[in-house]
Amino acid sequence: MKSAKILLFVLGVSSIIALLIPGCGKAGEKGEGSHDLPVSEVKDEHASDAATADSEGHAGHGHEAGKEDFNPKELLEKTCEHKIKTYLCDECRYEIGLVKADKCLFEPDPKTGKSFLSKVKTDKRKFLTMISVTGEISLNENKTSHVSPRVEGIIKSSEVDVGNKVKEGDVLFTMDSVEVGGAVNEYLNYKSILVLESRNLERIKALYEKRIVSEKDFIESSIKYEETLTALRTAKNKMEIYGLNAKDIDGIKPESDGDVISKLPIRAPINGTVIVKHAVNGEHWNPDKEIDIMVVSDLDNLWVLADVYETDLKALLDANSEKAECEIETLSFKGKAFKGKIENIGMTLDETTHTIKVRIIVGNPDGILRPGMFCSVKIPSGLSDATAVPESAVLSDEGQSFVFVEILDNFYARKPVVTGRKHEGYVEILEGLAPGEQVVSVGSFLLKSDVLKEKMGAGCAD
């Protein structure tokens, strides 16, 4: 069913071209017409395969296997089973990759100003030159937090696991700490004393204003109050250093039991994902340990640490590459290019490899990239001239890119090309076309549909 639909579409497109051609002038019958010309009159620019486009410095960009030879003279010499030149046979020319399109199809419509087909000359255009290097995806250390309690204690409960997303302030785990309990008791003690000192100061002040007590008594009471207030603030600061926040401290009451007083909740310092967890219920923790109980990192933005050779450093700096996008590809997701921007170019070279670290920030909103992945990186290093055509001119069939060129008046042939970089609607041509050579741009897909008739079984072989 699918093949039938494709065939109907192809025949429909061909019918459009066929219906338009008679309006352009008299079309000869099969085997007759003004195009039965000597092969020597083939357009000069296609007399032999076009010169290879300037591809120096771009090896590895889009080269395609199985590039076909292109010889228009041979195409025009072929004879079909109807015993006429194949290019003149309306039924058979598609088999050799030829299409007939009269000049009127290239003329703009008086009303719309548009034409079914149009041609354009290949030209030199500016393309970004890329440095290809290797790298490794890494955590964004500016958005990674290593969580470790500042006091000794016993881990009581763990609220999260590796892979869980957390928000800043979420409790990761709790622990029971003697030091925290001591600091809380000290805070509660000074808080109670402050209440008494505050009342005593108010009483002494009232008596002093009535001249019942001396100024000395008032000053001594004021000093005791200030000393207690200072001690209370110190105790509170100590609890904050241990990890208790304002809400935790406000929730502490003198009647609280020992478990509450010594309880220390450890919270997420940032938004992110838990990527490391060493918290086990009942485990004893000591700040002297050289490991983190947990690590939380924002995985929405990762680093790529790329190694750029010393020989490429000047081009990298001259191109001001920090303003251009880099392309990152991993082994896990071949064919998918992740975009990133250079965040930092290292100041020192590795003495062994003579490479410099370039740090690239890459977005990871889908979370498919993982720290530790190896990757290939293309870093912009300036602009260079290259032969190019509009993207609409380049078609593809079974992995082979091609364009349509006019090899004889009104006759267009499929010509294989090797493509490279793309930039602002243009494609670099590495092989197959030379500057100044004309190709069909607008409407080239119509010509392709006619050529595909041979594949769909609409040629002489039927």
Collapsing DSSP to helix, strand or coil, 334 comes out as: coil
* Average pLDDT value for residue range 57-67: 44
The residue among 446 and 109 whose pLDDT is bigger is 109
- Domain boundary among the residues 352, 383, 414 is at 383
| Same domain, residue pair 51 and 177 | no
461 part of a folded domain: no
Q: How confident is the model at residue 174 (pLDDT cuts 50, 70, 90)?
A: very high
Q: How confident is the model at residue 323 (pLDDT cuts 50, 70, 90)?
A: low
Query: What's the pLDDT at 120?
Result: 82
> In angstroms, how far is CA 462 from the centroid of its own chain?
49
Q: Using an 8 Å Cβ cutoff, are 365 and 273 in contact?
A: no
Which residues are CB-neighbours of 18 under 8 A, at least 6 positions away? none
Q: Residue 419 sits in a domain of what CATH number?
A: 2.40.420.20
Which element (helix H / strand E) includes 242? helix 215-242
| Same domain, residue pair 379 and 391 | no
Q: How confident is the model at residue 45 (pLDDT cuts 50, 70, 90)?
A: low
Q: Which of 133-142, 245-254, 288-297 has the lowest mean pLDDT?
A: 245-254
| Same domain, residue pair 277 and 316 | no
Please check the confidence at residue 78 and state whether its pLDDT lies above 50.
Answer: yes
What are the two backbone dihedrals, phi and then psi, of residue 409, each rounded to the nearest 5 degrees?
-50, 125
190 part of a folded domain: yes
Please check the confidence at residue 407 and state whether its pLDDT lies above 70.
Answer: yes
Range of the structural domain that residue 83 is part of:
2-128+386-451
Please check the confidence at residue 460 and state whether its pLDDT lies above 50.
Answer: no
> In angstroms, how far is CA 200 from the centroid of its own chain?
68
Of residues 280, 267, 266, 248, the one with CA closest to residue 183: 248
| Same domain, residue pair 73 and 172 | no
Percentage of the chain exceeding pLDDT 70: 78
* Average pLDDT value for residue range 318-330: 77
Which residues are CB-neighbours of 459 under 8 A, at least 6 positions away? 91, 92, 94, 95, 453
pLDDT digit string, tens, across residues 346-364: 999 999 999 999 999 999 9
Which residues are CB-neighbours of 110 under 8 A, at least 6 positions away? none
459 part of a folded domain: no
Query: What's the pLDDT at 432?
Result: 86
462 part of a folded domain: no
- b or e along 16-34 (b: 16 or more beta carbons within 10 Å of the residue's beta carbon)? ebeebbeeeeeeeeeeeee
Burial class from Cβ neighbours inside 10 Å (0-12, 13-18, 19+) for residue 361 reads middle
| Same domain, residue pair 392 and 303 | no
pLDDT digit string, tens, across residues 111-170: 777 767 777 888 888 887 888 999 999 999 999 999 999 899 999 988 899 999 999 999
Mean pLDDT of the residues in the chain: 79
| Same domain, residue pair 204 and 68 | no
Query: What's the pLDDT at 46?
Result: 56
Q: Residue 321 sits in a domain of what CATH number?
A: 2.40.30.170
* Average pLDDT value for residue range 241-267: 81
| Same domain, residue pair 171 and 222 | yes
| Same domain, residue pair 288 and 430 | no
Query: What's the pLDDT at 16?
Result: 46
Please check the confidence at residue 390 and state whether its pLDDT lies above 60.
Answer: yes
Please check the confidence at residue 90 and state whether its pLDDT lies above 60.
Answer: yes
Most confident of 9-18, 75-84, 203-212: 203-212
Q: Residue 254 sits in a domain of what CATH number?
A: 2.40.50.100
Q: What angle in degrees, to the nearest 10, is found between the helix axes of 178-209 and 215-242?
A: 160
pLDDT digit string, tens, across residues 7-42: 333 444 444 444 444 445 444 444 444 445 444 455
Q: How confident is the model at residue 322 (pLDDT cuts 50, 70, 90)?
A: low
The residue among 192 and 253 whose pLDDT is bigger is 192
Please enumerate, as own/partner, the contacts of 278-284 that have beta carbons within 8 Å and a separation of 24 or more: 279/155, 279/158, 279/172, 279/173, 280/155, 280/158, 281/155, 281/156, 281/157, 281/158, 282/154, 282/155, 283/154, 283/155, 284/152, 284/153, 284/154, 284/155
Percentage of the chain exceeding pLDDT 90: 35
Query: What's the pLDDT at 248?
Result: 86
Q: Which of 80-84, 100-104, 379-383 has the lowest mean pLDDT?
A: 100-104
Q: Which of 207-211, 247-251, 363-367 has the lowest mean pLDDT?
A: 247-251
Query: What's the pLDDT at 107?
Result: 75
Please check the confidence at residue 104 and state whether its pLDDT lies above 60.
Answer: yes
